[in-house]
């Protein structure tokens, strides 16, 4: 039974998230429908990251099994044909070994959070970036971000809806890039708690505004969600890469 790995980009604005739900359209469901229309096989699609409603992807990875043999270009092009009404694109299709698992074999996931820091409301970047209309102290944000690096109990940066058994996470890399009015916060780790990246970003933004005086180091040590900042809007978050 052939197994395929696909790399996907999508605009998550009008979706309830990656995972199938009863309250609206999901990325997973629309791709599964496209697979069925292309191959005639009803199959399950397994993604590397369960992005929330409104979150985007430039490099989501997923796998699925089908019964028939297909050329990888036909998989990519055929799925894109059936996905055309939706802002979902299959960038690449690769046939993989039977033991490949997009979620459990991932060694690192990289997210980017996009911020536009200016006085003017967003027009072209609405639903794709977070507009911050007060000047941010980028230097302070950058210095504080380094306290996230390494292995920590990230309980203070966990959503109330998080079902993870352990709150211990290791942040491999965090980079803040500034160009003109655009700010990108890039964070890499093997795995994250629910809404962890968005709470980390919200905390850094509130530090950059001067609303939070406490150090990230002390917030982590507190293990108290109320000590951290707001949850940044979903619209600025992108799953950009998954490494295996």
Catalytic, out of 11, 41, 52, 243: 52
What pLDDT is stored for residue 161 in this prediction?
A: 87
Q: Enumerate residue ranges in the chain where pLDDT < 70.
A: none
| CATH T-level assignment (fold) for domain 3-96 | Alpha-Beta Plaits (3.30.70)
To the question of domain 108-243 being in CATH 3.40.50.2300, the answer is: no
Could you give the residue range(s) of every CATH 3.30.70.580 domain in the chain? 3-96
What pLDDT is stored for residue 1 in this prediction?
A: 85
Could you give the residue range(s) of every CATH 3.30.70.660 domain in the chain? 108-243
Q: What's the per-residue H, E or C state across the chain?
A: CCEEEEEEEECCCCCCECCCECCECCHHHHHHHHHHHHHCCCCCCEECCCCECCCEEEEEEEEEECCCCCCHHHHHHHHHHHHCCCCEEEEEEEEECCCCCCCCCCCEEEEEEEEEECCCCCCCCCCCCEEECCCCCHHHHHHHHHHHCEEEECHHHCCCCCCCCCCEEEEEEEEEEEECCEEEEEEEECCCCCCHHHHHHHHHHHHHHCCCCCCHHHHHHHCCHHHCCCCCCHHHEEEEEEEC
Whether 41 sits among the annotated catalytic residues: the reply is no
What pLDDT is stored for residue 163 in this prediction?
A: 86
């Amino acid at each position: 039974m052939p197994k395929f790995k696909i790399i996907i980009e999508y605009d998550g604005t009008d979706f309830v998230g990656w995972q199938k739900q009863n309250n609206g359209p999901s990325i997973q469901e629309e791709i599964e429908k496209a697979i069925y229309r292309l191959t005639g096989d009803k199959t399950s699609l397994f993604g590397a990251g369960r992005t929330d409603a409104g979150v985007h992807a430039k490099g989501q990875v997923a796998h699925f099994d089908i019964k028939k043999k297909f050329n990888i270009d036909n998989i990519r092009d055929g799925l894109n044909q059936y996905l055309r009404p939706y802002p979902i694109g299959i960038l690449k299709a690769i046939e993989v070994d039977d033991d490949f698992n997009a979620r459990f074999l991932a060694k690192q996931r990289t997210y980017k959070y996009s911020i536009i820091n200016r006085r003017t409301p967003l027009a072209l970047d609405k639903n794709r970036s977070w507009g911050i209309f007060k000047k941010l102290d980028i230097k302070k944000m950058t210095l504080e971000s380094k306290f996230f690096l390494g292995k920590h109990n990230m309980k203070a940066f966990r959503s109330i809806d998080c079902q993870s058994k352990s709150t211990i996470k290791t942040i491999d890399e965090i980079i803040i890039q500034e160009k003109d009015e655009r700010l990108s916060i890039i964070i890499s780790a093997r795995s994250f708690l629910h809404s962890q990246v968005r709470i980390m970003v919200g905390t850094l933004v509130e530090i950059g505004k001067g609303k939070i005086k406490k150090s990230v180091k002390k917030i982590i040590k507190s293990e108290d969600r109320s000590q951290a900042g707001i949850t940044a809007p979903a619209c600025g978050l992108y799953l950009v890469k998954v490494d295996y």
